């Protein structure tokens, strides 16, 4: 019901629907929320509450669910990076927060990042007023380099999680060991690091990070404009005094009561599920896809693992023969320009990759038809307007 209503709204606006065979990307709207999450948000919208109290109570419940000391709801994972940076720079000290607001300066304003962990989202750290200090290079980081970068102005060490970013960086456990020996907190960007579910407590309770930040609108399937920060009581308390609804630097990143309750419902659902059963279903689907596309002229198919974000789930990689005249980028463009749009990932010069995680009933048929048509006509040109 919710999907048909949404599709109607977009049609009225002239916005094309997207079949998402790519990933839980912000530019595609994240994920699709289950009906119980939508129901919880709808109920939350029905009355007024004390937002300070709600953030505290929801945080305590989320901490219990995720086996952490404390938790906080942010307006997305990138906002979580701003908040954790502000917390590290100020330690939650009100006079320091006031000076930062008035002058843009704080006694601790440096954030260390291993070069292998530089990502397109780390400008959120600069947004908090911090200066990024690079250590190491893309191929390796030595412990002494991290040690040497720590100064009295170091506020925190930022760590990007994911198997796809592990090469060239020190392990998280070693990073935490060095940081904590100097009294420096470590914050983990784990926005897309679900599954496995265990990651919501592994980075913090098992590996010792002071905070880990997750997207609420990816694998949690919660509100797209929500994020979950878990970690130590000290770090979360410092986040709370910097964050909304306080009239401080993070006030523009306020979270609605609907997002708080929606994320709580999504996390409750997520931790109750067995992610391995879901991953097995993906394996079966990808296996079937590989067999299907291997039979089509002008293309080959294979299973790739892990996925593009380093998660333990498979993807199907489809490579186009040189004589087809179709490149990976051209295939992705043709699929995107149709109606409905089809979103896939470019996977090298001659290939795309697709995932079953976000498809709904009826979309697999369209996906098969649209990809199959790419090599059946000159240069992949095809009439892509197929019925939904």
Domain ranges of the chain: 2-29+275-380, 35-272
Confidence of residue 3 (pLDDT cuts 50, 70, 90): low
Q: What is the mean pLDDT of residues 135-158?
A: 96
**Which percentage of the chain shows pLDDT scores above 90?**
89
pLDDT attached to residue 238: 98
3-state secondary structure the chain: CHHHHHHHHHHHHCCCCEEECCCCCHHHCCCCCCHHHHHHHHHHCCCCCCHHHHHHHHHHHHHHHHCCCEEEEECCHHHHHHHHHHHHHHCCCHHHHHHHHHHCCCCCCEEEEEHHHCCCCCHHHHHCCCEEEEECCCCCCCHHHHHHHCCCCEEEEEEECCHHHCCCCCCHHHHHHHHHHCCCCEEEECCCCCCCCCHHHHHHHHCCCCEEEEECCCCCCCCCCCEEEEECHHHHHHHHHHCCCCCCCCHHHCCCHHHHHHHHHHHHHHHHCCHHHHHHHHHHHHHHHHHHHHCCCCEEEEEECCCCCCCCCCEEEEEECHHHCCCHHHHHHHHHHCCCEEECEECCCCEEEECCCCCCCCHHHHHHHHHHHHHCCHHHCCCCCCCC
For residue 6, what pLDDT band results from cuts at 50, 70 and 90? low
CATH pick for 35-272 out of 3.40.50.720, 3.90.245.10, 3.40.640.10, 1.10.10.10:
3.40.640.10
**% of the chain at pLDDT higher than 70:** 95
Distance of CA 225 to the CA centre of its chain: 11
379 confidence band (pLDDT: 50, 70, 90): very low
User: pLDDT grade, residue 377 (50/70/90)?
Assistant: low
35-272 matches 2-29+275-380 in CATH topology: no
Distance of CA 282 to the CA centre of its chain: 19
Cis peptide before 163 (omega within 30 of 0): no
Cα dist. 361→124, 281, 364, 367 in Å?
37, 15, 7, 11
| pLDDT band, residue 36 (cuts 50/70/90) | very high
Residue 374 has pLDDT above 90, yes or no: yes
CA distance 7 to 32: 12
What pLDDT was estimated at residue 311?
A: 86
277-294 pLDDT, tens digit each: 999 999 999 999 999 999
pLDDT tens across 101-113, in order? 999 999 999 999 9
Tell me phi and psi for residue 214, to 5 degrees.
-120, 150
1-4 — which CB contacts under 8 Å span 24+ positions? 1/35, 2/33, 2/35, 2/38, 3/32, 3/360
Provide the pLDDT for residue 166: 77
For residue 83, which of 237, 209, 206 has the smallest C-alpha distance?
237
Overall pTM surpassing 0.95 (yes/no):
no
Q: Are 88 and 111 in contact (CB under 8 A)?
A: yes
C-alpha 124/C-alpha 19 separation (Å) is: 30
| CA gap 339, 384 in Å, rounded | 7
Q: How far apart are CA 56 and CA 64, in angstroms?
A: 13
Hey, how many other C-beta atoms are within 10 angstroms of the C-beta on 379? 12
Phi then psi for residue 346, to 5 deg, are -75, 130
- Tens digits of residue pLDDT in 229-287: 999 999 999 999 999 999 999 999 999 999 999 999 999 999 999 999 999 999 999 99
Backbone angles phi and psi of 119, in degrees to 5: -130, 165
The 10s digit of each residue's pLDDT in 201-233 is 999 999 999 999 999 999 999 999 999 999 999
Share the mean pLDDT of the chain. Answer: 93
- Which sign, positive or negative, has the C-alpha torsion 90, 93, 96, 102? positive
pLDDT in tens, 66-79: 999 999 999 999 99
- pLDDT-derived band at 384, boundaries 50, 70, 90: very low
Residue 309 binned pLDDT confidence (cut-offs 50, 70, 90): confident
Please determine, for residue 131, whether its predicted confidence score (pLDDT) is greater than 80. yes
Q: What is the mean pLDDT of residues 172-177?
A: 98
pLDDT of residue 380: 43
The second-level CATH assignment, the architecture, of 2-29+275-380 is Alpha-Beta Complex (3.90)
Place of tokens 């079949």: 19
CA distance 215 to 190: 8
């Amino acid at each position: 019901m919710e999907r048909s209503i949404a599709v109607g709204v977009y049609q009225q606006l002239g916005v094309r629907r997207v079949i998402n065979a790519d990933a839980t990307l912000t530019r595609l709207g994240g994920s699709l929320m289950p009906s119980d999450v939508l129901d919880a948000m709808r109920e939350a919208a029905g009355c007024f509450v004390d937002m300070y109290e709600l953030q505290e109570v929801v945080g305590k419940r989320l901490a219990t669910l995720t086996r952490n000391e404390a938790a906080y709801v942010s307006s997305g994972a990138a906002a979580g990076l701003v908040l954790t940076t502000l917390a590290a720079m100020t330690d939650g000290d009100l006079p320091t927060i006031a000076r930062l607001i008035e002058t843009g300066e704080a006694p601790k304003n440096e954030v260390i990042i291993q070069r292998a962990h530089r990502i397109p989202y780390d400008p959120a750290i600069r947004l908090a007023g911090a200066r990024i200090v690079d250590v190491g290079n893309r191929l390796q980081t030595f412990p002494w380099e991290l040690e040497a970068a720590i100064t009295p102005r170091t506020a925190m060490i930022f760590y990007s999680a994911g198997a796809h970013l592990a090469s060239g960086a020190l392990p998280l456990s070693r990073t935490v060991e060095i940081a904590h020996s100097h009294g420096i907190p470590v914050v983990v960007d784990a926005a897309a690091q679900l599954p496995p579910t265990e990651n919501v407590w592994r980075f913090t309770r098992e590996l010792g990070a002071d905070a880990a930040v997750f997207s609420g609108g990816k694998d949690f399937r919660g509100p797209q404009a929500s994020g979950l920060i878990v970690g130590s009581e000290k770090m979360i308390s410092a986040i709370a005094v910097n964050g909304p609804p306080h009239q401080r630097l993070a006030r523009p990143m306020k979270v609605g009561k609907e997002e708080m309750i929606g994320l709580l419902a999504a996390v409750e659902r997520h931790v109750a599920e067995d992610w391995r059963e879901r991953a097995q279903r993906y394996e079966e689907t990808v296996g079937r896809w590989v067999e299907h596309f291997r039979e089509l002229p002008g293309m080959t198919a294979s299973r790739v693992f892990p996925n593009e974000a380093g998660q333990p789930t498979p993807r199907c990689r489809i490579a186009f023969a040189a004589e087809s005249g179709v490149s990976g980028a051209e295939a992705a463009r043709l699929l995107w320009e149709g109606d409905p749009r089809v979103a896939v990932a470019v996977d090298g010069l001659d290939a795309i990759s697709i995932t079953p995680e976000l498809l709904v009933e009826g979309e697999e048929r369209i996906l098969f038809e649209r990809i199959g048509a790419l090599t059946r006509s000159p240069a992949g040109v095809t009439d892509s307007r197929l019925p939904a």
